Amino acid sequence: MLQCWKDHPEFPILHQYSSDDWSNGTYNELWRDKPPANVDFHFGKYVSSLGFAKILNDATVIVCPSAMEGFGHYINQARAAGALVVTTDAPPMDEFVDDDSGVLIHGITPWADKATMGQNFMFEVPTRAICESIQDILAMDPHERARRAANGVRRYFKQRQYFKQSMQTLQAMVYQR
């Protein structure tokens, strides 16, 4: 993601919060001499739950180019907050977001064919694909961005309700035994 903003200084400001050494190393490698005007990089800073909620609520677009995802907590938090979510077109990310309720990053490739409980669970998300998705958003009419974000909120609550009902059904089945 950082490389994309390096390649496109015309992009709006990216606020990136990270605590992993890889992101910090990439940032320092890309901008050794001078911080970029279009990236506000926060490394290793603790963000409280309330602070994190404020960040999500203030954001209109949240970019989540996941190479792999467990449950998708931060994608769900972004959807619930009403942001337009940009994420990888691969499972499970594409189970939370589709092209009508966000923006999918297309053109990804699997890193590994097999895992113990499934296939294709890690993906390469090329810089080019991230940049194309951001360019698509910037070319979108503001009403289209808002429509997709609103669809993302609706999809989040619909999926949440489905999950709750499914768990209640499972619980009832277990207690009947």
Per-residue pLDDT band for 24 (boundaries 50, 70, 90) equals very high
Q: What percent of the chain stands above pLDDT 70?
A: 93
Q: Which CATH class is domain 47-176?
A: alpha beta
Between CA 108 and CA 12 the distance in angstroms is 24
How confident is the model at residue 67, as a pLDDT? 77
Residue 28 reports pLDDT greater than 60: yes
66 or 18, which is more confident: 18
Instruction: Return the domain boundaries, the chain.
Output: 47-176
Between CA 159 and CA 25 the distance in angstroms is 37
How confident is the model at residue 109, as a pLDDT? 77
Per-residue pLDDT band for 117 (boundaries 50, 70, 90) equals low
Q: Tens digit of pLDDT for each residue in 64-110? A: 998 777 667 889 999 999 999 999 998 888 899 999 999 999 988 77
How confident is the model at residue 61, as a pLDDT? 97
Q: Tens digit of pLDDT for each residue in 133-159? A: 999 999 999 999 999 999 999 999 999
Residues 6+ apart with CB under 8 A from 98: 104, 155
Between CA 70 and CA 91 the distance in angstroms is 10
Q: Strands 61-64, 84-88: parallel, antiparallel or unpaired by DSSP?
A: parallel
Q: Please state the pTM of the whole predicted model.
A: 0.85
Residue 119 reports pLDDT greater than 70: no
How confident is the model at residue 177, as a pLDDT? 74
Per-residue pLDDT band for 113 (boundaries 50, 70, 90) equals low
How confident is the model at residue 73, as a pLDDT? 83
Residues 6+ apart with CB under 8 A from 113: 119, 120
